A and B are shown apart, each in its own frame.
Chain A
Amino acid sequence: MLKYLLSRMFYSVALLFGVLFLVFMLLHITGDPVSLMVSRHATPAEIEALRQELGFDRPLLVQFAEFVKNALQGDFGRSFRYRQPAMDLVVQRIPATIELASVALFMAILMGVTIGILGGSNPNTALDSIARGLGLLGQTIPTFWLGLILIIIFSLNLGWFPAYGRETFKFIGLTLPNKSIILPAFALSLFTTGQLARFTRSAVLEVMNEEYVTTARSKGLKKMRIYSRYILKNSAIPLISIIGVQFSYLLSGSIYIETIFSWPGLGNLLAEAVSTRDFFLVQATAFFTSFVVIGLHLVTDIIYMLVDPRIRYR
């Protein structure tokens, strides 16, 4: 068991390292940022001096080694543009992304599980077809298009929600987002909704055919009780892992959704950092999001190991 745990942790760290290496190399093969940092009247000598000052003239592997060395000490470098430590900028944006991810996950569970149960417990009916259609739609609809459509309908035509931004209010000492979060959270939630709807449907279908359900039926138990006691409870187990994984993706911040709705989270920051080639800021953001995604996967693995002996003794 310990061996399994250690190997999972080793893979996680290796994966994190790999992601960082990839991001680092991709950023550098597209040119160094010095040409964007100097004014267009700068002389070649000035450009070269700045390149040396920032260390961009050294071999890439040396630069990467130094980045890793500093990162291990919690120093992710300074953002060129913002003139601040890159990780500070990332930390400023985390609350907005957590809010958005949490509300989106809540919406996705509400909608996805409902659709899945309705479809799964009425297989091959019109209701099931509609539920399957909705699930598929949620997974395939392009989010940037959906975002604009939501703004046009609910903001411009109906005037129910603001078109952009994050407005907050104070509630027992907490700063919470108000209705401005609904459109971006809904747009963000749809992919997860589709995923959950499809998994819930198949889980419910599978459990419905289990012998203990047949037994319960033959015992003459009420329909509601069969659902709450046997079907839903047992269908929920595989969903937990999916929810965990989906939450990690939601937490890494959506570039499209946050940009369209001007939501001041990590995706918004990353989009800007990439377009201005703010190397250290891109790396700090990439580190944080991969850390969250890989970390939550690891936690999910461990929880699974604890509840499922088949994995534990492998």
Chain B
Amino acid sequence: MKNIKGNALFIAFLVLLVLGMMLFTGCAGEPDEAGEEEVASESVLRVALTTNPNTIEPATGDTRTASNVAWSIFNSLVWLNDEGVIVPSLAEDWTVSDDGLVYTFKLREDIVFHNGYAFSADDVVFTWERGQGSDITYREDFLAVAQMNKIDEYTVEAVLDTPNAMLLLQMNEHWGIMSKQYHEEVGEEGYLQAPVGTGPFKFVEWRAGDRIVLEAFEDYFEEGYPKVDRIEYRPIPDSSTRFAALVNDDIDIVSGLGPEQADSVQAEEGVTLVTYPLDRVFYITFNNMSTGIGTPIEDKLVRQAMSYAIDYQTIIDRIFDGYAERTAGFIVSGNLGYDPSVEPYPYDPDRAKELLAEAGYPDGFSIEMAGPSETYINFEQVLQAVVGYWGEVGIDVDLQFMESGMFWTLQANRELPPLFGDSWSSSMGEAYPRLLGSVGGEDASYAAWLDPVLVDLVKEIQLSADQFDRADVYTEILRYMHEDPPFIYLYQPTAFEAINNRVKDYNPRVSEQYYLKGVSVE
């Protein structure tokens, strides 16, 4: 009797052990969700997300990851297709007035939302109204339209204050048409937590930090789409884990891999590496709007010399294993108006010294530079290498790194040093956002370089509704910004993604956008 009591601790220990074993191994291999067995034959696409979407609605989703999920659920009036052409979506046709101020859209009459509500002009007007809210992330894309009028049940008219060549692209990016009636029923917060759209997939479930589940919308208006029954988006923040999950066949599509993982993917069977140069330019800007005033960088010859002094290719080879592209300017391959005859500055330290001497700095000079820390892959190393090359031609640079929040606050306040490194992306297939933000003039908060010629050229783009006219202006800008460089154009990074070989027709764009309606799994 006493013996048993004495061993109570030991017995309790054993019971815990057995319970633990049951928990760990008893359930191994069992289906984790009730009912998953019945639908085993359905095709499921499992997509890794690099970050957790804040919302899965196009006007508020603040990362590319978020908007990629959102565009599985929503449609806009128009769609920029894989060939870079604007084609009809919820609007079957549209006309633009001669002065470029009135766009009239004829809407499709056969569209229903996922919850069965019919789509009409009211929903378009409502989406525009909601987009005016101060808490809408991409509000400016809605403010671009001064007034949205309902003409009849299936016709709307967008009235602009000034001609805006980008309007259709802005709609394609952030105008996901929402159901007015459903929004009235559930409110803004309810809508964002269980969104309803007209897109190829309908919302099923969102478990915070864990997964977002969508399923095919049987009444989707494009015949033959979507091609899978179900999508499971899984946020996996760590790139090594994403790689492991792909190789382990726990996931079908992963993005945001590093160069070292790209090599590993190529060694694995059953998976394929997908690479492309991103529509993002890494650069060092010269600051002639605040702290750079009165310093040597105001001289064009000095800026050219600094461009010649850097061995870009060695930086790309050493730091990125060759996985990055050189670029001659802010209009990159794949952008409207790109001209391959404008070539990047070659590495020519002798020419750099000549130019410095010509500019009156034969012994070089000292200057300060800043960069954001731990924000972009290997960017600190790149800037350090650049400082090394500049040192060889006599330019002594004091480089300091700052925490990114501080860095961008200082950038907005124009308090950064005469030189700083950063990157700028564009998502529209045109370099316009990058140009407007960086050389658009005093109103551009993050601009550091002011050149009236460029300000006027950027304005000209905005007013050219015709794509071919715009292309010519872009080419002119590319040439101008090459000859009189406001920036050191460092490189375009390479995107590394990988897919399981059973995935077909996955085509990510240079902007890291992808549409899953045409993707199938074998």
Q: Flag the segment in A8-16, A135-143, A159-167 that touches B.
A: A159-167
A271 to B189: give the CA distance in the assembly, Å: 24
- In the docked arrangement, what's the CA distance between A148 and B244, Å? 9
Most buried by B among A35, A106, A110, A168: A35
Is the C-beta of A217 less than 8 angstroms from some C-beta in chain B?
no
Asked if A43 and B55 make an inter-chain contact with CB atoms under 8 angstroms apart, the answer reads no
In the assembled complex, the Cα of A179 lies from the Cα of B20 at a distance in Å of 11
- The stretch from B24-32, B362-370, B485-493 touching chain A is B24-32
Are A92 and B208 touching (Cβ within 8 A)? yes
Q: Are A151 and B241 in contact (CB under 8 A)?
A: yes
Give chain B residues whose Cβ lies under 8 Å from the Cβ of A69.
none
Verify if B446 is at the interface (C-beta below 8 Å from A).
yes
Question: A161 → chain B, closest Cβ, in Å?
Answer: 9
Q: Which of B91-99, B219-227, B401-409 is the interface stretch?
A: B401-409
Q: Which residues of B contact A261 (CB under 8 A)?
A: 241
Q: Which of A25-33, A197-205, A292-300 contacts B (4 or more CB under 8 A)?
A: A25-33
Given known contacts A93-B209, A232-B9, A272-B51, A41 and B444 CB-to-CB distance under 8 angstroms: yes
CB-CB under 8 A from A168, the residues of chain B are 32-33
**A92 vs B206: C-alpha distance in the bound complex, in angstroms?**
12
Minimum CB–CB distance from B421 to chain A (whole Å) comes to: 15
Does A260 lie at the interface of the complex (its beta carbon under 8 Å from any beta carbon of B)? yes
Contacts of A83 in B (CB 8 A): 54-55, 60, 135, 188-189, 192
Output the least CB separation between B403 and chain A (Å). 5
Beta-carbon contact of A35 and B27 below 8 Å: no
Return the contact of B30 from the options A31, A169, A229 (Cβ within 8 A).
A169
Docked-complex contact B234 and A262, CB < 8 angstroms: yes
CB <8 Å contact, A228 and B237:
no
Q: How far apart sit A135 and B419, CA to CA, in the bound complex (Å)?
A: 51
Please pick, from A89, A106, A164, the residue contacting B244 in the complex, using a CB distance under 8 A: A164
Interface residues in B221-243 (C-beta closer than 8 Å to A)? 234-238, 240-241
Query: Which chain A positions have C-beta within 8 A of B207?
Result: 264
* Chain B residues with CB under 8 A of A236: 9
Interface-side segment among B82-90, B109-117, B322-330, B435-443: B435-443
Q: Report chain B residues within 8 Å CB of A37.
A: 137
For the complex formed, measure the closest distance between the CB of B389 and the CB atoms of chain A, giving whole angstroms: 28
Q: Which of A163-183 contact B (CB under 8 A)?
A: 163-171, 176, 178-179, 182
Of B27, B250, B437, the residue contacting A164 (CB under 8 A) is B250
Is A259 among interface residues, defined by CB-CB distance under 8 A? yes
Q: Which residues of A contact B294 (CB under 8 A)?
A: none
Interface string of A41-53 (1 = CB under 8 A from B): 1111011001001
A53 with B134: CB separation less than 8 A: yes
Asked if A41 and B248 make an inter-chain contact with CB atoms under 8 angstroms apart, the answer reads: no
Given contacts A93-B209, A259-B238, A269-B209, contact A178 B30 (CB under 8 A): yes
Closest Cβ of chain B to A34, distance in Å, is 8
B196-218 vs A, Cβ < 8 Å mask (1 yes, 0 no): 00000000000111110000000
Q: Is B100 an interface residue (CB 8 A)?
A: no
- Residues from chain B with Cβ under 8 Å of A110 in the complex: 16-17, 20
Q: Find A163's partner among B16, B33, B138, B250 (CB 8 Å cutoff).
A: B250
**1/0 contact string of A104-116 vs chain B (CB within 8 Å):** 0010001000000
Query: Which residues in B have their C-beta under 8 angstroms from that of A225?
Result: 3, 6
- CA distance in complex: A43, B412 (Å): 9
B433 closest partner in A (C-beta): A41
Q: Is A2 among interface residues, defined by CB-CB distance under 8 A?
A: no
Say yes or no: A156 contacts B248, CB within 8 Å. yes
Beta-carbon contact of A260 and B208 below 8 Å: no
A84: B residues at CB distance < 8 A: 189, 193
A248 contacts chain B at the CB level, 8 A cutoff: no
Task: Tell me, rounded to whole Å, the shortest Cβ–Cβ distance linking A238 to chain B.
Answer: 16
Considering the complex, give the chain A residue whose CB is closest to the CB of B241: A164
A262–B238 CB distance below 8 A? yes
Does B140 contact A39, Cβ atoms closer than 8 Å?
yes
A82 and B54 contact, Cβ closer than 8 Å, known pairs A40-B437, A110-B17, A164-B245: yes
Q: Please, which residues of chain B bring their CB within 8 A of the CB of A81?
A: 54, 62
Q: How far is the CA of A115 from the CA of B235 in the complex (A)?
A: 37
| A292-B369 Cα distance, complex, nearest whole Å | 44
Separation of A106 and B248 alpha carbons in the complex (Å): 28
Chain A: minimal CB distance from B516 (Å): 20
CB pair B445 A42 closer than 8 Å: yes
Min Cβ gap B282→A in Å is 15
| CB neighbours of A307 from chain B (8 A) | none
Separation in Å of the B140 CB from the closest CB of chain A? Answer: 6
Would you call B6 and A44 a contact (CB within 8 A)? no
Pairwise interchain contact A43-B445, C-beta atoms closer than 8 A: yes
- CB <8 Å contact, A35 and B408: yes
Instruction: Kindly state the separation between the CA atoms of A265 and B209 in the bound complex, as whole angstroms.
Output: 8
Check if B237 sits within 8 Å of A262, measured CB to CB.
yes
Closest to B422 in A: A40
B189 A40 Cβ-Cβ under 8 A: no
| Cβ contact within 8 Å between A151 and B240 | yes
A283 at the interface (CB under 8 A from B): no
In the assembled complex, B247 has its CB within 8 A of some CB on chain A: yes
B contact residues around A6 at 8 Å (CB): none
Distance between Cα atoms of A152 and B27 in the complex (Å): 23
Assuming the contacts A110-B20, A169-B32, A176-B23, asked whether A35 and B409 have C-beta atoms less than 8 A apart, the reply is yes
CB interface residues, B 386-433, toward A, < 8 Å: 403, 405-406, 408-412, 424, 433
- State A182–B23 Cα separation when bound (angstroms): 10
Q: Does A72 lie at the interface of the complex (its beta carbon under 8 Å from any beta carbon of B)?
A: no
Contact assessment for A178 and B27 in the assembled complex, using a CB-CB cutoff below 8 Å:
yes
Q: How far is the CB of A257 from chain B (nearest CB, A)?
A: 11
Q: Are A159 and B248 in contact (CB under 8 A)?
A: yes
In the assembled complex, which residues on chain A have CB atoms less than 8 Å from the CB atom of B209?
Answer: 92-93, 96, 262, 264-265, 268-269
With A41-B140, A165-B210, A178-B32 already in contact, the answer to whether A35 and B412 are too (CB < 8 A) is yes
From residue A51, how far is it (CB to closest CB) to chain B in Å? 10
How far apart are A276's CB and chain B's nearest CB, in angstroms? Answer: 8
Chain A positions within 8 Å of B241 at CB level: 148, 151, 163-164, 260-262
CB contacts (< 8 Å) of A271 on chain B: these are 237
Q: How far is the CA of A92 from the CA of B193 in the complex (A)?
A: 13
15 pairs across A/B with beta carbons < 8 Å? A30-B406, A40-B445, A41-B444, A41-B445, A82-B55, A83-B54, A93-B208, A156-B248, A162-B245, A163-B244, A165-B210, A169-B30, A178-B28, A228-B9, A272-B52
Q: A148-B240, A156-B247 are in contact. List 14 more A-B contacts (CB 8 A).
A: A35-B409, A35-B411, A38-B445, A41-B445, A82-B54, A83-B135, A84-B189, A159-B248, A162-B245, A163-B245, A167-B32, A225-B3, A262-B241, A269-B208
Q: Which residues of B contact A (CB under 8 A)?
A: 3, 6-7, 9-10, 16-17, 20, 23-25, 27-28, 30-34, 51-52, 54-55, 60, 62, 134-135, 137-138, 140, 188-189, 192-193, 207-211, 234-238, 240-241, 244-245, 247-248, 250, 403, 405-406, 408-412, 424, 433, 436-437, 440, 443-446
